[in-house]
Amino acid sequence: MVDVLVIGGGNAALCAALMAREAGASVMLLESAPREWRGGNSQHTRNLRCMHDAPQDVLVDAYPEEEYWQDLLKVTGGLTNEHLARLTIRASATCRPWMQKHGVRFQPPLSGALHVARTNAFFMGGGKALVNAYYRSAEAMGVAVQYDTPVDAIELDDGRFFAARSGERRFEARACVLAAGGFESNLAWMREAWGQNAAGEWPADNFLIRGTRFNQGVLLKYMIDAGADVIGDPSQSHCVAIDARAPLYDGGICTRIDCVSLGVVVNRQGERFYDEGEDFWPKRYAIWGRLVAEQPGQIGYSIIDAKAIGRFMPPVFPGTTAATLDELAQKLGLPGEPFLRTLADYNAACRVGTFDHTALDDCHTEGIAPAKTHWARPIDTPPYYAYPLRPGITFTYLGLRVDEHAAVHFGGQPSDNLFVAGEMMAGNVLGKGYTAGVGMSIGTAFGRIAGARAATAALHAAQATQGRGQHHATA
Ligand SMILES: Cc1cc2nc3c(=O)[nH]c(=O)nc-3n(C[C@H](O)[C@H](O)[C@H](O)COP(=O)(O)OP(=O)(O)OC[C@H]3O[C@@H](n4cnc5c(N)ncnc54)[C@H](O)[C@@H]3O)c2cc1C
C-alpha cells in the first residue's frame, strides 16, 4: 500500500506529491489525462501572484500583504475567508525558491501582459514548462505516476479515506489528496448550472472551455454526494470573451480578444450592449464573457478600425476585414441597417479629446446608451476589422470546504487523512471574481499544505500499524 495517493495531475496535485515525497512518504499520482495532455488547466497558465515587500528577482517594487488582501477583498466582494486568504498570500512570498528547486524558472513579463510586472512572477516557458519541470522532479524522486486513470469513486468510512477506484482498478493508501480541478469541462453540468434563459436558450450550449477537457468534476460530484462540506455557487465561473473560432477545449490564452476597449462590441442584432471603455481592459476583460453570455445566441462582435491596430495583443485568428462597414456587416452576416445605424450613432456621439490608451482618457460619447466613457473615437478609418466573441470558461468556483490544514470536512469535522487542494477548494479564498495569478497562488499554497499533512497522516498511520503488529507479536 502506498502512503499518499494524489488524485489529479495539475499544479496543486504536483505540489502535493512533491511535498509528500520530500516528507518521506511513498507517493502515487493518478492523472486522468494521457501523458501528452497532462497538467490540467495549469499547463495554460503564465504566472503566479506573489506578495513581496521589496524587489525580488523578476518582481519590481513591492506588493505588500495588505495590498494583496485588499485586491482579493475587492474582486471577491467579501466572498473570501480572510484567514485562508492571508495564509495563501503569505505562502506566495516564500514559495518561489521551493519551485525553483523543482526546476521552475521565472522571467520578467513580456510587454503587452496585463501590467503585472509588480504583482506577478511569470513562468519561463509558461505553465507547460512548469508542469513538465514538476513531473520530471517527481519522477526523479520516485513518485509513481499513472496516466489515463480517471478516478470515479472514493472509499470512505466516517470521513476516513481508504481507497480510490478507477473503473475496475483500486488504489489503497494511508492518506489522499484530491486535486482534480473544477467541473468546467463537464458541459452537461454547466448546462444545468446556467439553466435556460428567458428566450428559451441554454446559454452553456454556446460556451467554449479555455482549458483542459479532463476537469469533468466527477470527483467533486462524488464528494458532494458523499456528504463533504461544500463552498461556492455552481452557477459562478470565471468567464472571458474569447474568439468564437477557438476550439471547444484547450484554446488557452491566445484565443483571448483584447481590442474591446479600442472599438465597439455589437450583438447579432447589430446593437451595442455595454460601455466598452468603462475601465482599463485588465480590470474589465473578465466581465465580458458573462456579458456575451447574456446576448442572443451568446455571440458578440468586437469592431475596430485601422487606428487600433498595433495597440493590443494580436489574437491567434486574423480578424474579418472589409473596406467599408457595410461590407463588414455582410461578411459577418449581421443585419446591415441596424448595424450601420449603431455605428453611425456611435461615431456621431464621440467627443474626442486627447486619446491615451494608457490612461482613463477624456475621449467619451455623449447622448447615446450605453455610453462609451473612455477611448471613444469614431470608427471611420478603413480597413475595418471584426472578431467574433463567445463566452470562454476558465474555471468554476464550486468546491470543498477546508481549514488551514487543507482537510476535507464532513458535517464540520475535518477528515484526518483526506485533503484537498487547488481549484477543488479555491472557492474558500475566491468565492467569485478573479485577480490574475491567484489561481496558482492558491494551488501552490494548499497543494504544499495538503501534501505535507497527508504525509504526516500516512506516516503516523504506518507507525500505528507497525506498533500494533509489534504488540501482537509480543503479546
Ligand atoms: C487559459 C487559462 C489561463 C490561465 N492562466 C492563469 C495564470 O496565468 N495564473 C493563474 O494563477 N491561474 C491561471 N489560470 C487558472 C489556473 O489554471 C488554475 O487556477 C490552476 O491551474 C488550478 O490548478 P489545479 O491543479 O487545481 O487544476 P488543474 O491544473 O486543472 O488540474 C486538474 C487535474 O486533475 C485531473 N483530473 C480531473 N478529474 C480527474 C479524475 N476524476 N481523476 C484523476 N484526475 C483527474 C486533470 O486531468 C488535471 O490534471 C488559467 C486558466 C486557464 C484555463
Q: How far is the CA of 10 from the centre of ligand 1 (A)?
A: 6
pLDDT, tens digit, 9 for 90 and up, residues 379-417: 999 999 999 999 999 999 999 999 999 999 999 999 999
Return the pLDDT at 470: 64
Return the pLDDT at 274: 97
Q: How far is the CA of 401 from the centre of ligand 1 (A)?
A: 18
Q: CB of 250 closer than 6 A to ligand 1?
A: no
Please name the CATH architecture into which domain 239-392 falls.
Alpha-Beta Complex (3.90)
pLDDT, tens digit, 9 for 90 and up, residues 20-59: 999 999 999 999 999 999 999 999 999 999 999 998 889 9
Which atom of ligand 1 has the smallest separation from the CA of 210?
53
Q: No. of H helices and E strands in the chain?
A: 11, 21
pLDDT band at residue 192, thresholds of 50, 70 and 90? very high
Return the pLDDT at 283: 78
More confident residue, 269 or 280: 269
Return the pLDDT at 112: 52
Q: CB of 219 closer than 6 A to ligand 1?
A: yes
Let me know the angle formed at the C-alpha of 424 by 216 and 444, rounded to the nearest 5 degrees. 125
Grouping H, G, I as helix, E, B as strand and the rest as coil, residue 281 is helix
Query: In this model, does residue 472 exceed pLDDT 90?
Result: no
Return the pLDDT at 237: 87
Q: Give yes or no for a contact between 29 and 40, defined as CB atoms under 8 angstroms apart.
A: no
Report the range of poorest mean pLDDT among 77-81, 212-216, 366-370: 77-81
Q: CB of 400 closer than 6 A to ligand 1?
A: no
More confident residue, 60 or 354: 354
Q: CB of 427 closer than 6 A to ligand 1?
A: no
Q: How far is the CA of 228 from the centre of ligand 1 (A)?
A: 21
Grouping H, G, I as helix, E, B as strand and the rest as coil, residue 340 is helix
Which atom of ligand 1 has the smallest separation from the CA of 394?
53
Report the range of poorest mean pLDDT among 276-290, 312-326, 330-344, 461-475: 461-475
Nearest alpha carbon, ligand 1 atom 53: 211
Q: CB of 220 closer than 6 A to ligand 1?
A: no
pLDDT band at residue 469, thresholds of 50, 70 and 90? low
Query: In this model, does residue 174 exceed pLDDT 70?
Result: yes
Q: How far is the CA of 470 from the centre of ligand 1 (A)?
A: 44
Q: Which of 11, 15, 36, 42 to mutate to test the pocket of ligand 1 (most atoms within 8 A of CB)?
A: 42
pLDDT band at residue 471, thresholds of 50, 70 and 90? low
Give the span between the Cα atoms of 244 and 248, in whole angstroms.
Answer: 9
User: How large a percentage of the chain has pLDDT more than 70?
Assistant: 97
Return the pLDDT at 332: 97
Q: How far is the CA of 181 from the centre of ligand 1 (A)?
A: 6
Closest CA to 197 of 169, 170, 235: 235
Return the pLDDT at 441: 98
Q: CB of 126 closer than 6 A to ligand 1?
A: no
Q: In the predicted model, what is the mean pLDDT of the chain?
A: 95
Q: Is the dihedral of CA 323, 325, 331, 332 positive or negative?
A: positive
Report the range of poorest mean pLDDT among 161-165, 234-238, 336-340, 398-402: 234-238
Grouping H, G, I as helix, E, B as strand and the rest as coil, residue 77 is coil
Long-range pairs, 153-159, Cβ under 8 A, ≥24: 153/222, 154/219, 154/222, 154/223, 154/226, 156/226, 156/418, 159/408, 159/410, 159/413, 159/414, 159/415, 159/416, 159/418
Which atom of ligand 1 has the smallest separation from the CA of 47?
8
Q: CB of 7 closer than 6 A to ligand 1?
A: yes
Read out DSSP for 126-183? Answer: HHHHHHHHHHHHHHHTT-EEE-S----EEEEETTEEEEEEETTEEEEEEEEEE----S
pLDDT, tens digit, 9 for 90 and up, residues 288-306: 999 999 999 999 999 999 9
Query: In this model, does residue 164 exceed pLDDT 80?
Result: yes
Q: CB of 3 closer than 6 A to ligand 1?
A: no
Q: CB of 439 closer than 6 A to ligand 1?
A: yes
Which cell goes with 65?
A: 500583504
pLDDT, tens digit, 9 for 90 and up, residues 88-103: 999 999 999 999 999 9
Q: How far is the CA of 43 from the centre of ligand 1 (A)?
A: 7
pLDDT, tens digit, 9 for 90 and up, residues 253-263: 999 999 999 99
**Chain centre distance of CA 353:** 37
Return the pLDDT at 113: 52
Q: How far is the CA of 452 from the centre of ligand 1 (A)?
A: 20
Q: How far is the CA of 41 from the centre of ligand 1 (A)?
A: 3
Which cell goes with 270?
A: 447589430
Per domain, the residue ranges of the chain are 2-182+217-236+397-465, 239-392
Return the pLDDT at 475: 47
Q: How far is the CA of 39 from the centre of ligand 1 (A)?
A: 7
Return the pLDDT at 425: 97
Closest CA to 380 of 349, 336, 353, 344: 344
Return the pLDDT at 284: 84
Q: Which of 18, 41, 255 to mutate to test the pocket of ligand 1 (most atoms within 8 A of CB)?
A: 41
Q: CB of 150 closer than 6 A to ligand 1?
A: yes
CATH H-level, domain 2-182+217-236+397-465: superfamily: FAD/NAD(P)-binding domain (3.50.50.60)
